[in-house]
Amino acid sequence: MTENFSEIINEETASQKLLQWSGEYERTCGHKPLALIHSYGCQQNVSDGEKIKGMLSKVGYEFTSDVNEAQLILYNTCAVRENAEDKVFGKLGDLKHLKENNPELIIGICGCMAQQKHVAEKIKKTYRQVDLVFGTFAYNDMYNMLWEIISKHDRIFNLSENHVDINEDFLQLRDDKIRAFVPIMYGCNNFCTYCIVPYVRGRERSRKPESVIAEVRALVKNGYKEITLLGQNVNSYSYGFPELLRELDKIEGDFRIRFMSSHPKDASHELIDAILECKKVCKHLHLPVQAGSDRILKLMNRRYTTADYLKIIDYARSKDPEFSFTTDLIVGFPSETYEEFCETKELIKKVKYDNIYSFVYSRRSGTKAAEMEDHISDKQKGLWLRELLLEQREVSTAWLSRFVGRTVTVLPTGEGRTGADYLTGKSDEDMIVEVKADKKYIGKFIQVRITKAMNWALRGELVEDK
């Protein structure tokens, strides 16, 4: 067993050996080796999973969604909530019989969950069917690790914490042909007390703007219509995020730009100005506030107050009174009182969010919040969450009515929930829109006149092609 993996042979030699092996496998079995790659969690994980698939395709793998067909099963994991980890452990347990029936099957986990030492130790002792565990800093070693397992039947545990230069040569096999995720930076320096991300993804590292611009330009050339820029805090992009938006806006083509996430402590007037002035940047800002109480925000180490937050809202709305905001909210943070929770409800009414993404506080081992006394019962947290959602439903039902009668640009991405003849997509304001239209419009910008506002989406009628 290789406990702490270090480079055994150079990566180019390992890739050549894997390519030779996959060729022999195909000649013997009549098909290429098949890999199942499943990514949990955020958009960054989805992007990482697409890069893993790209790496594997270069050494002869093809892909399947059937565990019974796969020669390699790799779960790309999330560590934000404990229930996400429990789900992965359950999946690993289900694979035990597959390994018993096929000892050559390679089973692995990677990503944020795998970066945690206690997780690796648990897998090492309890899940003997798992051959490969590697964290968020080890993607560059993947060919070496796979070859070591195939050639020596070793178990590999690579929890390297060494920062390496950002690799711009990854081939990315994208799952979506309409929308693409483009990371502009990795890691986080904020250390919110509830969050494990800085510990599993490391400190902030930014890609060079010329690399981001080249990637977006290539995606647009290949027909992608929506580009989402990713970063744990895009406002910390070291080369200037508003400047990057303006440069991407100059790229010729019929596409639009989204981004996430934006930390309120760094959200500037320049950012709002860039959003409003750039033609291809969506007129929407996801601005996670997390709580409406200043005491709780301080305990969370968010480094802004509700007054600071509202200044950003006010500036945007002074420029565009109907500017679209969405947010994240945590309910039941340790020591939160009901009165403080009610401050969050009041903030919802003040801001008038189009949508909120709300979560019951989930304890994460290794974070400072995990050491805080948590006197709020799970039942009480659940009641507060339902109360919050009812408040938001009341707000959004009234606020979304501003769209009725307006014509908005929509990018349909699939069939809708309203009926068989409906498509669903999002407007520039990040609103879900259902429209009765032919499937030929999937992946094309269309104009939709809004006829009805619901508390979760808009409904409209097709006007004309854009």
CA distance 26 to 147: 17
Q: How far is CA 421 from the centre of its chain?
A: 30
Q: Which amino acid is located at 77 in the chain? A: T
CA distance 227 to 213: 11
Q: Which residues contact 451 (CB under 8 A, 6 or more apart)?
A: 404, 459, 460, 461
Q: Which residues contact 103 (CB under 8 A, 6 or more apart)?
A: none
Beta bridge partners of 445: none
For 223, the 3-state DSSP assignment is coil
CA-to-CA separations, 444 to 35, 344, 418, 422, in angstroms, rounded: 32, 38, 20, 15
CB 361 within 8 A of CB 193: no
CB 194 within 8 A of CB 333: yes
CB 229 within 8 A of CB 252: no
CA-to-CA separations, 220 to 46, 213, 223, 224, 227, in angstroms, rounded: 19, 11, 5, 5, 9
Would you say 282 is a known binding-site residue?
no
Token code pair at residue 11: 């990566």
Helix 142-152 vs helix 11-29: angle between axes, to the nearest 10 degrees? 50
For 148, the 3-state DSSP assignment is helix
DSSP string, 194-249: T--HHHHH-S-EE--HHHHHHHHHHHHHTT--EEEEE-TTGGG-TT-HHHHHHHHH
CA distance 52 to 109: 12
CB 358 within 8 A of CB 388: yes
Would you say 29 is a known binding-site residue?
no
- Residue 447: how many CB atoms within 10 A of its CB? 16
CA distance 353 to 134: 39
Would you say 110 is a known binding-site residue?
no
CA distance 296 to 294: 5
Backbone angles phi, psi at 256, to 5 degrees: -135, 160
Backbone angles phi, psi at 404, to 5 degrees: -60, 130
Backbone angles phi, psi at 90, to 5 degrees: -65, -40
Would you say 192 is a known binding-site residue?
yes
Number of H helices, E strands in the chain: 14, 19
Q: Is 257 exposed, middle or buried (0-12, 13-18, 19+ CB in 10 A)?
A: buried
Can you say which residues are annotated as belonging to the binding site?
A: 42, 78, 112, 188, 192, 195
Q: Binding site for [4Fe-4S] cluster: what residues are annotated? A: 42, 78, 112, 188, 192, 195
